[in-house]
Chains A and B, each alone.
Chain A
């Protein structure tokens, strides 16, 4: 239950500041998201450029990039995930402490990108771990990454503290660890985690090839 804006302004003129617990809780969380220093490929260079002087990401709260997954809140998957690397990515995600978020940066992290026809390329990291924000581009410009970061902040801001939509770290039953795939003889086993990446709902009696809309 939020406070009405007019009441807020009136009280503010008197020197009284009112808010709700969820607002201030989320305000603190969204303005101090620390990414993990995890660059895979070309998108990593744009990520580094985003933290440099021109497109400073630190002013959004991403002050330091922590190399250790235990100390990071956000994993920016920047670059192509290969099947050789995929188990390590899932392991790193498991090692991050809740609350944790994932931005899939670039076409390769979303769906395999230009290297989709690859025997060693994982066609998107959302096959194994849940992704919060997808940002397309090859590579996405630093402004696009900042937009992704702001979208994530808006998403964190909108999370209620109670109820069915509450985030994972406030839910004792929620699953935060995801199974790590094994490297088999020809492919990863399992090739996809169906709980995270379900098939679309069955289509009844329509022409094959009609997938959009």
Chain B
């Protein structure tokens, strides 16, 4: 397969992944904060096509779990009533609130209860847990989608921030040289001398520990961006240095071009290729960092889901031993990384660097 085709394939796949995650509210049957205390650690709901009388239905249906069998991780299906899977469900907030109130379930503090479409759903009081539920009865599938949104977004924003800083500082260092260059390069070395996870820790450590979910999200992005600028800065500086010495830059200077013009027209476009390649490498790294930090409790805070958050439940022995579906958020990361790495490899090959 040619390089270009590989790039397009990887991009296409990534685009599909990101789109599905962006439209989390549509694909997810429930809001991520909605709890159902009567169904903690419910296993993934089984979809049936054939009812107990042997009749085949085109539309799959589920059975509710008989509540008396909770919280053991085996859902005894209540065969008295079948709940068909409905597509393009649109629930009004009032109805949903009333239904949930009847169940005795709790609503999360921040309910985004606008009337909006969902791809599928089932009537109350059954719940469709495609990937099971967690300790508080929250649908893992919905949380996966929303968590994926948070994690992927965090990765991209942080990478954008780091690349932005790196681009500006690297360009300034390379273009102006002198003590500015020395200062920036020494800082780069300093930042690179710390193992990055440890640096994240150190920086995270100096910030307040107990923050609201939204604050923690942006703080995390800021921290990752601030920590990750060093390597892109060094690469951009290299590009800028070589571009600066070109004769055509000297010629343009000979026509009286200002520094800004030279940067804009001649130097920075060269850096663009490097930045793109770096993006393919940094974004998965930052997604991973977010997952790691959230797993350790230093990233996105509850109740906002993130893939790291979701995995944190596995720190408890009984969860890991009995509830295998709690692993699935982690498994969702694998195709994301695989595509990003494929993309990064292809971009590197195109730029002439030998990827390993």
**Does A associate with B in a complex?**
no
Q: A interface vs B, CB < 8 Å?
A: none
